[in-house]
Amino acid sequence: MSAFDSQVGGNHYKSFKIQPIEFITINGLGYIVGNIIKYVCRYKSKNGIEDLRKARHYIDMLIESELKEEAFARNRSVGDNYE
């Protein structure tokens, strides 16, 4: 029996055809994106609005992270032109 066949701490993922962790792992998604998927998938069967707020928090972190990466890349490419 695979660890993916069981769930510890509830059954809020068992109704899905594929558990969020399987989807996240198979698609090579990172920690932040994985948590967004996890919380959005389970909100109706576990913690309701609290899980949606958690997902929103991770979305805000992802946006902030992406903006920092864009700024870094922009600054780096500007700096590269002056070398």
Domain map (residue ranges) of the chain: 16-81
pTM of structure: 0.78
Assess contact for 72 and 43: CB atoms under 8 A: no
- Whole-Å CA distances, 18 to 22, 31, 55: 6, 18, 19
Give the helix ranges, DSSP H, for 1-83.
20-26, 31-42, 49-81
Instruction: Give the tens place of pLDDT for each residue, 29-64.
Output: 999 999 999 999 999 999 999 999 999 999 999 999
Under the banding of pLDDT at 50, 70 and 90, the label for residue 75 is confident
At position 43, the amino acid (one-letter code) is Y
Q: What was the pLDDT predicted at 9?
A: 64
